[in-house]
Chain A
Amino acid sequence: EDQVTQSPEALRLQEGESSSLNCSYTVSGLRGLFWYRQDPGKGPEFLFTLYSAGEEKEKERLKATLTKKESFLHITAPKPEDSATYLCAASGGSYIPTFGRGTSLIVHP
């Protein structure tokens, strides 16, 4: 059974304080590792898809990396508007993603 575990559950940062969110996955034959951002009362917003170990993608202050067992979402010099829940998902042979429980990020000004 595919499993995705995210840590920490919650993270509080000061504005400008860089950090990383972790996503550990167990799937048979990775077909995609996905990162989403979810704001309160809204649907998940797509950020990145990674397909193979060593792959990296960047968007503004966010950078996603992938190894054979985990993915990291690095947040550089975060701003209060980066506050959200970040969801990770991984898909295996069925191509249907399994989601983790998310990391709730709060960035204080």
Chain B
Amino acid sequence: DTAVSQTPKYLVTQMGNDKSIKCEQNLGHDTMYWYKQDSKKFLKIMFSYNNKELIINETVPNRFSPKSPDKAHLNLHINSLELGDSAVYFCASSQDLGPGGNTQYFGPGTRLTVL
């Protein structure tokens, strides 16, 4: 059973397009995250949702909009894609944000290439 899944695994698109990445977790966790990993493997947090509520919104262009229809899903929509958006995007989840519950489990990643 896949714990945290993402689709698609690869996404190749032209500059200016709009695209979405979907994430689902079957761990029963309350908290979900989106991370961006650059070419040097640095993982940088973008957003965090706890019980469908946005709690972390780092300095990310407003072209990026997360949506959480329920606790098990956190999707990422990107408008007007730019070359610099090319990266690997990881979804993660944790039990909650409390003591002992913030260990994160990651999805397989979505490699986005903007041409």
Interface residues in chain A, defined as those with a beta carbon under 8 Å from any beta carbon in chain B: 31-32, 34, 36, 38, 41-46, 49, 51, 85, 87, 89, 91, 94-99, 101-102
A46 and B103 within 8 A (CB) = yes
Contacts of A43 in B (CB 8 A): 4, 90, 92, 106-109
Q: How distant is the Cα of A51 from the Cα of B40 in the complex, in angstroms?
A: 28
The answer to whether A101 touches B42 (Cβ under 8 A) is yes
CA distance A44 to B40 in the complex (A): 15
Please count how many residues in chain B sit with their CB below 8 Å of the partner chain's CB atoms: 24
Kindly list chain A residues whose C-beta atoms are within 8 Å of the C-beta of B99. 31
The docked-state distance in angstroms from the alpha carbon of A30 to that of B14 is 42
B104 partner residues in chain A, CB cutoff 8 A: 34, 46, 89, 97
In angstroms, Cα B42 to Cα A27, docked, is: 18
Q: Which chain A residues border B69 with CB–CB below 8 Å? A: none
Is A42 within 8 A of B109, CB to CB? yes
20 contacts between A and B (CB under 8 A): A36-B106, A41-B109, A42-B109, A43-B4, A43-B107, A44-B43, A44-B90, A46-B104, A49-B103, A51-B100, A87-B43, A94-B56, A94-B97, A96-B45, A96-B48, A97-B102, A97-B104, A99-B43, A101-B41, A102-B41
Q: Which residues of A lie under 8 Å from residue B42 when comparing CB positions?
A: 99, 101-102
Chain B residues with CB under 8 Å of chain A are 4, 33, 40-45, 48, 56, 90, 92, 97-100, 102-109
**B40, B41, B100 interface centre (most CB from chain A within 10 Å):** B41
Inter-chain CA distance A38–B105, complex, in Å, is: 12
Q: A44-B43, A44-B90 are in contact. Are A95 and B97 (CB under 8 A)?
A: yes
Q: From residue A75, how far is it (CB to closest CB) to chain B in Å?
A: 19
| A34 CB contact (under 8 Å) in B41, B48, B56, B103 | B103
Which residues of A are found within 8 Å of B102, using beta-carbon distances?
A: 31-32, 91, 95-97
The smallest C-beta distance from B91 to any residue of chain A, in angstroms, reads 8
Chain B hits for A99, CB < 8 A? 42-44
A37, B111: Cα distance in complex, Å: 19
Residue numbers in B under 8 Å from A44 (CB-CB): 43, 90, 106
